[in-house]
Structure 1
């Protein structure tokens, strides 16, 4: 990491392990938490966070893991609970020598042989088992049936989410979106944040970033075309949005993902 990231969130749990370089820190929720050789940063699903890079500080190489619940469920069924709030009991965890060694080994394999995906996944699996067993109450963790089935989610919030996911380019005014689902802007924002734990704007940015990654990795569409599909008025605005949220430019991301032949998150 050599530049800041804006405040954002993800629908899956997220963990950061320092591999090399300067110690640094992240804002998670309303806390500032340090990322060091001895301490990992742990972020629950939909927990807002950001990174503020200090100008002039040496870059930090970070192993940033965004973990899909279904992938974790292949190890232990109740690990699908990672998609719910509170999976990590704290936003920081003391890194054991074993975890540090596993993280370093995975990072070296990804850099040294980008195409060996089977070996990367094997090492990633070993690291994830060690991390989750150390930093979560995994034996007691249960998936949220309420969230999985949509219970308790107001039908107007569900409609807003459907609109954002179906046509993110068409959502250019939150006041109009609120009106389209039958709410005032203020009521819409309160209801959405109470339900989803992030603002409608942050959620829309998540949708745009997810779709941008899919377009960049899985299609040959030009960046200008992707920009237009996602509702950015000019490609430069899309490039800045992507860099501010993902840590690299769209063109760099496409080049690296093409080299690797997969869609691992790569932050530069």
Structure 2
């Protein structure tokens, strides 16, 4: 069964070392998201409408809010994957334009050929997370070096000022902004998209079309992202029971929450909380 082997979290976002042997449902993240193979068999992800390879020589590159899924084939052996979920604000401390990593076109391609340096840093970071879970200073240094190498190789960040790209990506219809506000305030309370559409003054069909054209994800995927981010925080950083977290996020029974978490994070909540507790990471913003 797929599970998290190690987890690092801080102002940069989070980095998970995942041992994957089952598919993940179509989902998204509010982060600059990079997937790198550590060991095991070559595998593949579905990003948007493409299936792209993850191998020793290729990285999977996913923009913020871009729908994707782990396309694990039945009977395929497990693959250890380094999954980076990186906050745009943290990246902006390296280069001002890197705040654009929150824009929908920061990575123009969903797959790219890795360099020897990226492959070495991937392995080194994974080994350090496993063998030195408390060495937060080294984790910080390696995550920074790896993300710099990835962005400089795969993102065309020099082409356009970040401020313009970000501004263009944040123009959203006021009714969709209202729906987003309702979802964000209490994602566990939103159980009927038809009622939400009516509440913001739209028909169901118009609501779904306008929402997806504005944010590049469906309302349901967006809501699940909010629920998942709340779940990750509660599981990794809190002490609340999973039953309590499940109820807060609107799941009828804890088993449904556990399956939702595993299908989105690639790990059971129990394993995720266990590896999160191996270290306390408080990374400072890089200078």
TM-score under structure 1 length normalisation: 0.94
CA deviation after TM superposition for structure 1 residue 115, in Å: 1.2
The question of 1:49 aligning with 2:62 is answered no
Give deviations 1:159-202, integer Å, cap 9, x for gaps.
Answer: 11111111112110100111111111111101100100000000
Is the Cα contact below 8 Å between 1:217 and 1:263 reproduced in 2?
Answer: no
- Equivalence for 2:180: 161
Distance 1:88 1:232 in 2: 34
Is the Cα contact below 8 Å between 1:16 and 1:42 reproduced in 2?
Answer: yes
Distance 2:63 2:98 in 1: 13
Distance 1:89 1:147 in 2: 15
Larger RCO: 1 or 2 (CA < 8 Å, sep 6+): 2
Within the candidate set 87, 90, 101, 1:71 is matched to: 90
- Equivalence for 1:210: 229
The question of 1:28 aligning with 2:50 is answered no
Greater than 3 Å deviation, 4+ residue runs: 144-151
Give deviations 1:124-160, integer Å, cap 9, x for gaps.
Answer: 1111111111111122243355755985311111111
Is the Cα contact below 8 Å between 1:83 and 1:143 reproduced in 2?
Answer: no
- Equivalence for 1:126: 145
Q: Which ranges of structure 2 fall in alignment gaps of 5 or more residues?
A: 1-19
Is the Cα contact below 8 Å between 1:84 and 1:144 reproduced in 2?
Answer: no
1:169-248 aligned within 5 A: 169-248=188-267
The question of 1:259 aligning with 2:259 is answered no
SS at match of 1:6: coil
SS at match of 2:61: strand
SS at match of 1:7: coil
In the superposition, relative to structure 1, how do residues 258 and 246 fare at CA in structure 2: closer, same or farther (>3 Å)? same
Give deviations 1:46-70, integer Å, cap 9, x for gaps.
Answer: 1111012222221101111111001
TM-score under structure 2 length normalisation: 0.88
Q: Which ranges of structure 1 fall in alignment gaps of 5 or more residues?
A: none
Is the Cα contact below 8 Å between 1:215 and 1:221 reproduced in 2?
Answer: yes
Q: Paired residues, what number?
A: 264
CA deviation after TM superposition for structure 1 residue 92, in Å: 1.0
